[in-house]
C-alpha cells in the first residue's frame, strides 16, 4: 500500500466537529492564510480567522505546541476553530485586492482584527498529513482587516525585489524568523525576484522551505567533524514515538515510519532514503521526509557535527494527521535531548526496539540503508 492511499483512507474515517459560525465573522487572524493547490494555477486563496479576539497566534504557530506540551485534541481544537475564507485567484495576480490583504497578513508580526462575510455558512473541516488541519470554509464575499504591523525582517525581504527566494528564506531563517512565518510569507508571494513572485500552495510552500533550508544546512554540516560513535535521540509526543539514530558516517539519511492500529488492526511501514550523493526525485513518503531531514540537520549544525541518520517513527492508536509540523517539531525536540551513546549500530537498535510496538525487524525489512549498515555494505557509500 502506498502511503498517500493509506492516509486518504485514514482521514476519510475521521469525523471531527468544527466550530459553528454564521455567514458573518468578526474576530482575529492569528495571522494565518491558506493557498490551495486544486485547479492550479487558478487556486482557492484566503485568510484563516477565528471569532476570538486578541492574541490568537497560538492557533497557527506550530513551534509553540510541542514546547508547551499540547495534547492532540488541544491542537485539533485550535485548528478547527480556524475558519477558512476563499476566493479563486490566479497565482500571479498579486494586485488582486484579496491577495494584497493576504500578503499583509503574512507579513504581520501579530494577530490582526478581521471581518469577513461569506456567501454561505462555512462548514466542514480538513485533515491532511502535509498541512495542519483547519475548520469550516466558505467562499468570501467581503473581507476587511485592520492595519497590521509588519515583521521588520519580512518587510525588508518584501521590498528587496532583487533577492532570490532561496537566499531570502535562508536569510530570514538565520535572523530567527520562525519556519511557520517564513513559509506563509513565501506562500503569499512576498519573497523572491519581483517578476517571479506568485502565490504558492500552502502544502508546496512548506516542503519547499524545508528543502531550501535543509540544502543550506547540508553545506554547513558536511564540513564538520564526523561523530565517533552511534547515538540515539528519542522523543514521544502526540501518539508518536521517534528514535533518531546518528551514525559515524558522512551525511546519509533514511526515514522509516510505521502506523500501528490507527484505523483498526493495520500495521503498515513506509520508508525512503538518500545517500551522501543526495536525492533527485520527490520522496515517496511525502513532505514529512523533508521536515525530519531539516530538523536532524539543524541539530547537527548547532553542535557543529556531521553524521548519518536513520530515523524511525511509529504512530499509534489515537494518531491524527496534523501536518508535517508534527514531524519537524518532534524531531527538533528529540535532537535537543541528551543522546545515549553506543559502540555498535546493533546495540543502538536493540536499545530502541522495546519502545516500538512493531518488531524492529519490520523497520529493517522496509529500509535500505539500515539493511546495508547491518550487513556491512556501507563502504561504497562513505567515500
Q: Do residues 199 and 34 make contact, with C-beta atoms less than 8 angstroms apart? A: no
Buried b or exposed e, range 71-97, using 16+ CB within 10 angstroms: ebeebbbbbbbbbbbbbebebeebeee
How far apart (Å, rounded) are the C-alpha atoms in residues 183 and 330?
Answer: 18
Q: What are the angstrom distances between the C-alpha of 81 and each of 138, 182, 289, 299?
A: 14, 23, 28, 33
Residue 378 has what pLDDT?
66
Q: What is the pLDDT of residues 234-262, one digit of tens each?
A: 999 999 999 999 999 999 999 999 999 99
pLDDT tens digit sequence for 134-165: 999 999 999 999 999 999 999 999 999 999 99
Nearest Cα neighbor of 59 from 47, 48, 44 is 48
Read out DSSP for 308-352? EEEEEEEE-TT-----THHHHHHHHHHHHSPPEEESSHHHHHHHH
Question: For 34-45, how does the pLDDT look when each residue is reduced to its tens digit (9 = 90+)?
Answer: 999 999 999 999
Percent of the chain with pLDDT over 70: 98
Dihedral over alpha carbons 374, 375, 376, 377 (to 10 degrees): -110
Where does the pLDDT of residue 13 fall: very low under 50, low under 70, confident under 90, or very high at 90 and above?
Answer: confident
10 pLDDT above the threshold of 50: yes
The CA distance from 212 to 199, in Å, is 17
Tens-place pLDDT, residues 321-379? 999 999 999 999 999 999 999 999 999 999 999 999 999 999 999 999 999 999 987 64
List all residues 6 or more positions away from 348 whose beta carbon is below 8 Å from its beta carbon.
230, 231, 232, 245, 340, 342
> What is the distance between the terminal CA atoms of the chain, rounded to a whole angstrom?
35
Query: Edge-to-edge strand order for the sheet containing 253-260?
Result: 267-274, 253-260, 308-315, 240-247, 230-237, 340-342
Alpha helix positions (H), 144-201: 152-159, 165-174, 179-187
Domains of the chain from N-terminus onward:
16-212 (no CATH), 225-381 (3.30.230)
Going by C-alpha positions, the residue among 201, 204, 210 that lies closest to residue 166 is 210
pLDDT given at position 129: 85
Average pLDDT taken over every residue of the chain: 96
**Could you tell me the pLDDT band of residue 380, with boundaries at 50, 70 and 90?**
very low
Amino acid at each position: 500500500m502506498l502511503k498517500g492511499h493509506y492516509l486518504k483512507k485514514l482521514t476519510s474515517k475521521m469525523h471531527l466537529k468544527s466550530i459553528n459560525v454564521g455567514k458573518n465573522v468578526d474576530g482575529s487572524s492569528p495571522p494565518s492564510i491558506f493557498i490551495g493547490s486544486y485547479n492550479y494555477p487558478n487556486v482557492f486563496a484566503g485568510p484563516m480567522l477565528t471569532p476570538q479576539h486578541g492574541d490568537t497566534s497560538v492557533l497557527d504557530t506550530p513551534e509553540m505546541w510541542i514546547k508547551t506540551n499540547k495534547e492532540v485534541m488541544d491542537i485539533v481544537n485550535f485548528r478547527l476553530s480556524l475558519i477558512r475564507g476563499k476566493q479563486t485567484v490566479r497565482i500571479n495576480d498579486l494586485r488582486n485586492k484579496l491577495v494584497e490583504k493576504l500578503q499583509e497578513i503574512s507579513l504581520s508580526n501579530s494577530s490582526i482584527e478581521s471581518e469577513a462575510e461569506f456567501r454561505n455558512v462555512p462548514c466542514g473541516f480538513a485533515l491532511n498529513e502535509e498541512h495542519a488541519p483547519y475548520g469550516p470554509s466558505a467562499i468570501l464575499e467581503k473581507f476587511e482587516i485592520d492595519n497590521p504591523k509588519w515583521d521588520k525582517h519580512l518587510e525588508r525581504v518584501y521590498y528587496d525585489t532583487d533577492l532570490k527566494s532561496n537566499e531570502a528564506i535562508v536569510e530570514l531563517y538565520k535572523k530567527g524568523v520562525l519556519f511557520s512565518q517564513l513559509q506563509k510569507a513565501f506562500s503569499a508571494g512576498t519573497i523572491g525576484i519581483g517578476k517571479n513572485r506568485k502565490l504558492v500552495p500552502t502544502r508546496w510552500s512548506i516542503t519547499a522551505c524545508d528543502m531550501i533550508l535543509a540544502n543550506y544546512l547540508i553545506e554547513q554540516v558536511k564540513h564538520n567533524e564526523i561523530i565517533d560513535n552511534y547515538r540515539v535521540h528519542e522523543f514521544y509526543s502526540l501518539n508518536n514515538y521517534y528514535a533518531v539514530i546518528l551514525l559515524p558516517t558522512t551525511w546519509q539519511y533514511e526515514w522509516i515510519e510505521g502506523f500501528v492500529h490507527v484505523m483498526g488492526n493495520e500495521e503498515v511501514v513506509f520508508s525512503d532514503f538518500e545517500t551522501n550523493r543526495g536525492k533527485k526525485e520527490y520522496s515517496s513518503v511525502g513532505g514529512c521526509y523533508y521536515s525530519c531531514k531539516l530538523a536532524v540537520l539543524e541539530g547537527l549544525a548547532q553542535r557543529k557535527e556531521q553524521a548519518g541518520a536513520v530515523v524511525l517513527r511509529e504512530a499509534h492508536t489515537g494518531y491524527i494527521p496534523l501536518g508535517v509540523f508534527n514531524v519537524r517539531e518532534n524531531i527538533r525536540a528529540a535532537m535537543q535531548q541528551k543522546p545515549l551513546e553506543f559502540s555498535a549500530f546493533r546495540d543502538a537498535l536493540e536499545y530502541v526496539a522495546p519502545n516500538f510496538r512493531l518488531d524492529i525487524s519490520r523497520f529493517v525489512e522496509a529500509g535500505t540503508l539500515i539493511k546495508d549498515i547491518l550487513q556491512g555494505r556501507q563502504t561504497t557509500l562513505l567515500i
